[in-house]
Structure 1
Amino acid sequence: MSGLDEIIHQSTRLRIMAALQVMKKDEWIEFMHLKALIGASDGNLGAHLETLSKAGYIESSKQIVGKKPLTRIRPTPAGRAAYAGHVAALRALLGM
């Protein structure tokens, strides 16, 4: 067991990573959709995405569509592995 991942362990980041795990390998999710899924504000979600990005757990793509910004997010292979390790550590801690 590698232990709990302190970056993922924070509740909002855990919800973000859990939401991203159901996505296919090359699939992206739009910022607004992710925001609605996890119930976060723009600023809160943006700050947590920045932390996950700095850790190498997610990548993002920013574009302007019409006159509106479009930000898309997806997990990296390192992020998927870190999430799986965190979940395994939680299960071991809980005796599951």
Structure 2
Amino acid sequence: MQCSFAPEFRNRTRYEPSWTVVAGDLPRHLTRNGVSFSKQHYELLQTNGAYNLQIRHVVFRRDNGKFFCTLLDKESGAQYTVQANVVVVGLFTYMII
């Protein structure tokens, strides 16, 4: 999932990026200011201006939900959140005839 910031929002002293997922009605913090809280499940891909998140192995209960990339302005308290990335994990039943 992609998230990027314009040059004026890349100052990590003032702006703090994060990823949060809401799955099963509960929000979970996945990253905050470059620190990943669930490295075994998600990979944080940071490059110049990008703060992307990759799911390592999709699991229904954990990943079926909405992922939010947020930028917090630590001086003003303003929060900027991009439109949710919605992940829908399908459950498939196979019938062999």
From the two aligned structures, give the one with the greater strand fraction.
2
Fold conserved between structures, TM > 0.5: no
From the two aligned structures, give the one with the greater helix fraction.
1
| TM score, norm. by length of structure 2 | 0.30
Larger Rg: 2
